[in-house]
């Protein structure tokens, strides 16, 4: 357990008052509870599901929506990276944080390359709230960008439709000149 409570920024893109739907993939319940304790101490309102087997993971992942996944790197008979592969195969871009006792630099780089959002060492759990908040804010920003791009495409499509299907002549006014459009 960490010795100091993590202080998170006052202004964030993530609404700290809303419930944080967390899928924790961890075979040791005590470790999972430590992760959740760190997040709750930092002000997150956690709504967790803790799973330890591939079957439990698949069942929960298919039935529930999550904001973030926290996964142990090494699990009995499988690994957190196996869960990540299933999540990405399903087309889900949910933030995925690996939590491990040790992780070499080469393995860490490979995990990030394969889609892990970040990782936290179990000896440094005080970093977990900051890592989770950053991952949630990045996801919020990506989602907002996708929404804005789609809205722009729709607006452009609507304008093109209006011009193409309007039976009346239309005038396009420009700074330099007025042109007749049809």
Q: What is the pLDDT of residues 15-69, one digit of tens each?
A: 777 899 999 999 999 999 999 999 999 999 999 999 999 999 999 999 999 999 9
* pTM of structure: 0.75
CA distances from 104 to 73, 121, 135, 153 (A): 12, 11, 21, 44
Mean per-residue pLDDT for 106-111?
Answer: 85
Q: Cβ(72)–Cβ(25) under 8 Å?
A: yes
d(CA 59, CA 8): 33
Mean per-residue pLDDT for 80-102?
Answer: 92
Average pLDDT, the chain: 84
């Amino acid at each position: 357990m960490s010795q100091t409570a993590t202080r998170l920024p006052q202004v964030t893109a993530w609404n700290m008052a809303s419930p944080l739907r967390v899928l924790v993939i961890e075979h040791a319940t005590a470790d999972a509870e430590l992760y959740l304790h760190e997040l709750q101490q930092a002000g997150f309102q956690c709504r967790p599901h803790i799973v330890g087997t591939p079957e439990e993971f698949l069942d929960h992942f298919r039935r529930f929506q999550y904001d973030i996944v926290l996964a142990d790197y090494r699990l009995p008979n499988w690994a957190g990276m196996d869960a990540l592969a299933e999540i990405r195969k399903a087309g889900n871009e949910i933030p995925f944080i690996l939590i491990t006792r040790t992780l070499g630099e080469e393995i860490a780089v490979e995990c990030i390359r394969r889609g892990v959002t970040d990782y936290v060492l179990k000896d440094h759990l005080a970093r977990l709230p900051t890592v989770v908040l950053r991952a949630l804010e990045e996801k919020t920003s990506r989602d907002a960008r996708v929404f804005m791009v789609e809205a722009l495409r729709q607006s452009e499509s609507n304008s093109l439709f209006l011009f193409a299907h309007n039976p009346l002549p239309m005038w396009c006014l420009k700074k330099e000149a007025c042109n007749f459009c049809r």
